[in-house]
Structure 1
């Protein structure tokens, strides 16, 4: 038995794959151990390592394991097959790159929204994340061109940060046991109404469903039952007060 033989663990480490992967390759006949030691433990040669590196190279550009097995048996490949596979892999990587850049934009947007607060309500933050991801996944290309849907625009950052601030204020009002019929609550409702009207003025009617802070598909709710009740009672009081004037 040659001293150059590698155990399955050594081969896995050298090639940067898992032992489970090598066992699977053995099972389908892609890489069969060159020898076995006592107890049936697999042993691999340097040629096996070279074959594994070839498999990894072909797998990287998108060839299936079945295709790789055939290619290694033939030892040659048609230029158009190789070019086509490379082009396909490139498209995959570009799509992945775009997805990563989109995620970076989303993370930057979230950071801008929460900047300035020492403590962030977890329920509210999860609601924001879910809303952003839902909007990205469900808006069509035409909608994304509008400023309200463009996470890179200052207008979008401004309005989302303002809504976040309002929700944080609402939670503080309830936490401090402020009455929904107080001047403080009245002022809050007026601000929220103005902010909502400002947001609605920036979007087309067809976009309102996706632009509103709440929608029927967003099962996450940033408010507790107590906060929802406060908000409802505060707006009811505001309507009553305006009606009596």
Structure 2
């Protein structure tokens, strides 16, 4: 019923508004004058009700358009736009901006051994860790499959490494995730020629390097890879 209503919402609201206007016209034209006040109260109520319905529909549409249905995190569509906005802000303000991409190690084994439902549960558990241990200003998104991305505004490469090491350690020690581990690649904006594709490419290079050994954090600055050891202090980003 809900899906049917959402699909036909524009038609329902338009037809309802048309019928209400016709009724209002006849009441205004033929009703005694003492009913006019009641009519205007009815119009006010109808307008308020319509505003609430449209507002809920827009909120629902926004959530569905920008959220991953399994994890509740932001999806790739929202991530791409948010990252573009953050890079533009970086170019204006020169404030630090970092990006982290995470990949679950050997996730296929979980699906093959325990089934895809358990694999989904692991993804949800990891999503909860990411949501709990990042800041409100950070954007956590499901990149695709078992990969996740975190946009870290106001965070330089050192701060991003601290945040990533904390997450890596939490995942490694999670008792309800089949002892999974993650690789995390990190890159930070540098220079005026930075754009979305370049920042993603740098972060992806760092992630590729981290996946060579698994369960580690690798950051990239320019052409230099810096491999994490898991020994950085767990302090806030």
User: Normalising by structure 1, what TM-score?
Assistant: 0.26
Q: Greater helix share, 1 or 2?
A: 1
User: Normalising by structure 2, what TM-score?
Assistant: 0.27
Q: Greater strand share, 1 or 2?
A: 2
Q: Which has the higher contact order (CA 8 A, sep 6+)?
A: 2
Which one has a bigger Cα radius of gyration?
1
